[in-house]
Chain A
Amino acid sequence: MSNRATNLLVPIVSVVLGLIVGAIIMLVSGYSPIEGYAALWNGIFGDLYTIGETLRQITPYLLAGLAVAFAFRSGLFNIGVEGQLIVGWFAAAYVGVAVELPKIIHLPLAILAAAVAGALWGFVPGLLKAKFRVHEVIVTIMMNYIALHVTNALIRTVSDGGDRTERIFASASLRSEFLENLTEFSRLHLGLLLALIMVAVMWFILEKTTLGFELKAVGFNQHASEYAGMNVNKNIIMAMVISGAFAGLAGAMEALGTFEYVSSKGGFTGIGFDGIAVALLGMNTPLGVVFGATLFGSLKYGALNMPNAAGIPIEIVEIVIAVIIFFVASGYIIRLLLLRAAGKKKEAK
C-alpha cells in the first residue's frame, strides 16, 4: 500500500470505526443508532441555519487550537488557553460597552484588546519559565483560576453587582447582516474570517520568518539553539505571548460575535481545554488545526440535536461523541493495523 493511500485511508477508517462503536453504545442503551446519527447529521448539515451555527461553533475552536499548537511547536505546553480566552472575552466585551466609536476604530480596538489581554496572560508564565524555569503547566493551570475569578469580580464591578455586562455597541460587533441572511439568521459572524486569517498568520510565522525558525529550533533542542546564538529566553516568552494572543482572540469571538456580552461564569468554558485536543488531532500544524476544529465544532454542535430529534439522553450523546473523537485520535493504532493487514496480504501472495 502506498504511503499516500494509507494517509487517506487512516482518517476514514478511524471515523467509520468510531461511528460503529458509537452505534453499538446506542444500541445497547436501547436507542436507534440510525435515528441518532440522522439527528447528528441534521444537527450539523440539516439546513443553512445549522450549517451557519456549526461554522460559528468551529470559530473559537480554530483559535484555541492555534494557541495550543503554536506553543507546542516551540516546545511549550500551554494549558492556559482557557484562562487566556476568558480574559480576552472580558477585555473585548469591556471595550465593546465602555466606549462608542466609529466601527472602523471600535471593532479593531476591541479585537486588539482581547489579543493583548490574552498575550499578557501568556506573558506571565512565559516570563516565569524563561527567568526561573518554573514549569509552564503549573503556572498556566493556576492562571486559569485567576482569570476565571478575576473576570467574574470585574464583571460584577462593571455591571454594578450584576452577573453580566451590557450588550456591546453595534460598532464593536463582528455580526454581519450578509452572513446572517445567507444562513437563515444563524449567529455566524465575521470572526470565522478572522480565525482563518490567523491560521495563515500562524503558518506564515512558523514557515516564513526567522522568528518561526528560532521558535521551532528552541522547541526541538534548546542547547543547540543557544549554541547557535539564539536567545532561548526571548523565544520562550514570545511563544507564550503569541499563543496567548491567539487564545485571547478566541475569547473575542464569543464577546463580539456569538454572545455580544460577557457574563460571570460558574466554571470554565471548556473551549481552551478542547483546544489541546484540537491541536493534537491536527498534529500541531495550522492546516491540521482547521481539520481538528472542524471535527470538534461540528460534533459538539450537531450533538445538541440528538436529544431533541432522536430522544437520546445527553449523557449517551456525550459518550458517543467522545468515542468518535477517541477513534480519530487513535489514528496511529489504525495506521499500524492497516499496515499489518497490508503486510499479511503481501505474505499470502
Chain B
Amino acid sequence: MEYVIEMLNIRKEFGNFVANDNITLQLEKGEIHALLGENGAGKSTLMNVLFGLYQPEGGEIRVRGKKVDISNPNVANDLGIGMVHQHFMLVENFSVTENIILGSEPTKMGVTNKKDAAQKVAKLSEQYGLNVDPYAIIEDISVGMQQRVEILKTLYRGAEILIFDEPTASLTPQEITELIQIMKRLIAEGKSIILITHKLKEIMDVSDRVTVIRKGQGIGTVTTAETNPNELAALMVGRQVTFKTEKGPAHPTEETLTVQDLVVEDYRGIAKVKNLNLTVRKGEIVGIAGIDGNGQSELIEAITGLRKVKSGKVLIHGKDVTGMKPRKVTESGVGHIPQDRHKHGLVLDFPIGHNIALQTYYTAPISKSEIMDYNKITEKAQQIIKDFDVRTQGPHEPARALSGGNQQKAIIGREVDRNPDLLIAALPTRGLDVGAIEFIHSRLIEQRDNGKAVLLISFELDEVMNVSDRIAVIHDGEIVDVVIPEETTEQQLGLLMAGHADKDKKGGKHRVE
C-alpha cells in the first residue's frame, strides 16, 4: 500500500518535557486515519509538527515516499497538507469567498478579483457536496456551515491531505452526520484524512485505521474493523474504562426544584420557554434531552436568575425564587455548572485558585468584613485541586493555561464542594475525553446518592440515557414527555426530541397546554 504521509519515530521536546516520544503514524492514500488520545496526550503537538509549526527533535517525515523538511506552514501547504482547525480561523464579518482567499487574494489589474474566486469556490462546493453559498457572511451562517468553509479553504489551496482537529466538538448531532458524509465524499474524490479526536463513536463510524497515543507515547495502530470501543478506550487511557455508568437505583423523596408554567423570552421578545413544567426531587437525576436551541439555555438561565422570567414560577424547597438575583438563587442552595465554561464558568485571566473561590470569596473564612484572606483561597483551592484531581501546577496558574477537562473539574469542584441541594449541570462533559467523562458522571451520581437533586442538560443521548433517573424531553420550549431510561430507546428519544410526540399520551401528561 502507498503511504501519502509517513511520520516515523517522531520525538518532540519542550525543555525537559517530552510531548511526543517515538510516535509513528502512516497515512494511506484514500483512508480516514484517526489519531486518538486523551486531552493533553500530544495529538496537537504531533499535528503541529506535521504542519510545520514545530520542528521535531527526532524522527523523519516522508510525503509520498520522499523525505521532507517541513520548516513552516507554507511548506506544508505546498506539499498539499491542509488543516481544519477546531477553533475556526474566520473573519466574522467577511463573506465566505473573502475568507477563503484571505492571504492570497487573486488580483486583476491590481484590484482583488472576487468574482472569479467566488465561482471557483462555488464549483468546489458543488464537487464535494458542501452546499456553501460563496457570498454568505460568516456571522450569518451556522457553526456547521462555518466548518465547511474551513474545509473549502484547504481545498481551494489544493490540499490533498486534510487534518481535522476535533471537528465535532461544537457541532449538533445533525451536523455531525453531515460532516461524516462530507468526509466520505472527500475520500471518494481521492483525498486522505487524518482525524484528531477522542470520541470513540466517531472513530468506529468513520475511520479505517486508528493510531493511539497516550501521554506522548505512540501506543500503536489498529484497524478499525478489527477493534471495538472498549479496546480503544483501554489503549487510550491505559486501563479498563466502564461506559455504562455504575449506579444503584434512585430513592427520590420530596421536591427540590419545581418549575411551574414557566415562560421565558429571548432579547427579541420571542418565547423560548413556553409554559414549561418540571420537577426534580431529592435523590434523583433528571436529564433534559433535546436538540440544541430548544430552550435549554433559557430554562437554566431563568432558574439561576441570569435571565428575566416572563411568567410562571421557580420554587426551590417550596420557596419562590422567581426573578431573584443570581446570588440569592445560589444562596438558596443551587450549584450551577454552566454550559459555556469560558464565558460564564471561569474568569480565564484569574488564577485557577481565584476561580475556585468565585462563589465563596465574599464569605468567611475567605473574607471577613470585606477584607480578603488570599491564603485561605490558596488553602481551599489546594483542597479542591486534590479532591477533584485537577491537573495544574498549582492555585496560582492562570485558568487559561489549564486543559478543558481540568478547567471543568475545577468548576465542578467549586460547585459540588458547596454541597448544593440542587446541582444544575449543563453540558458538563462537552469536549472532554472518556476518562474525564467517567469521573464527572460518577461525581453527579455521588451527589444524587448523598440525597441531592441533580438537573442534567445534555445534547448527547448516551449521556442522558446513562446518567439520568428520569428523562424530560424538551422540544421548542416545552417538555413534550418524561420517560424512564430503562423503558425507552434512543430511537424513541430521538423522535421525541425532533417533536414527534405521542399525541394520545401528551394530552394526559400535561397540566397546562
Give chain A's interface residues, CB within 8 Å of chain B: 207-213, 216-217, 220-221, 223-231
Contact = CB atoms under 8 A, between A and B. Distances in A.
A212 B367 CA distance: 12
A227 B348 contact: no
B350 A227 contact: no
B486 interface: no
B511 interface: no
A110 B348 CA distance: 42
Contacts of A208: 371-372
Contacts of A228: 326, 358-359
Given A212-B372, A227-B326, 16 more contacts: A207-B374, A208-B371, A209-B371, A209-B372, A210-B362, A210-B370, A216-B350, A217-B354, A220-B349, A220-B350, A221-B348, A226-B306, A227-B336, A227-B338, A228-B358, A229-B330
B345 A227 contact: yes
Contacts of B349: 220-221
B327 to A, nearest CB: 3
A227 B372 contact: no
B344 interface: yes
A224 B306 CA distance: 11
* Interface of A: prevailing SS: helix
A223 B338 CA distance: 11
Interface centre among A207, A217, A225 (most CB of B within 10 A): A217
Given A210-B362, A229-B359, A220 B326 contact: no
B359 A210 contact: no
B319 interface: no
A231 B326 CA distance: 9
B348 A229 contact: no
A221 B361 contact: no
Interface residues of B, number: 27
B343 interface: yes
Closest 6 CB pairs of A and B: A229-B327, A227-B344, A228-B358, A220-B349, A221-B347, A229-B326
B367 A226 contact: no
Contacts of A217: 347, 350, 354, 358
B325 interface: yes
A262 to B, nearest CB: 36
B362 A224 contact: no
24 contacts: A209-B370, A209-B371, A210-B367, A212-B372, A213-B354, A213-B361, A217-B347, A220-B347, A220-B349, A221-B346, A221-B349, A223-B343, A224-B343, A224-B346, A227-B304, A227-B306, A227-B326, A227-B345, A228-B326, A229-B325, A229-B328, A229-B330, A229-B359, A230-B327
Interface string B355-377: 00011011000010011101000
A216 to B, nearest CB: 7
Nearest to A229: B327
Nearest to B414: A228
Nearest to B363: A210
Contacts of B330: 229
B356 to A, nearest CB: 11
A229 B370 CA distance: 16
Contacts of B361: 210, 213
A221 B347 CA distance: 6
Nearest to A225: B347
B142 to A, nearest CB: 22
B324 to A, nearest CB: 10
Given A217-B358, A229-B327, A224 B372 contact: no
Contacts of A227: 304, 306, 326, 336, 338, 344-345
Interface string B382-407: 00000000000000000000000000
Contacts of B325: 229, 231
A221 B350 CA distance: 10
Nearest to B360: A228
Interface centre among B344, B347, B372 (most CB of A within 10 A): B347
B291 to A, nearest CB: 24
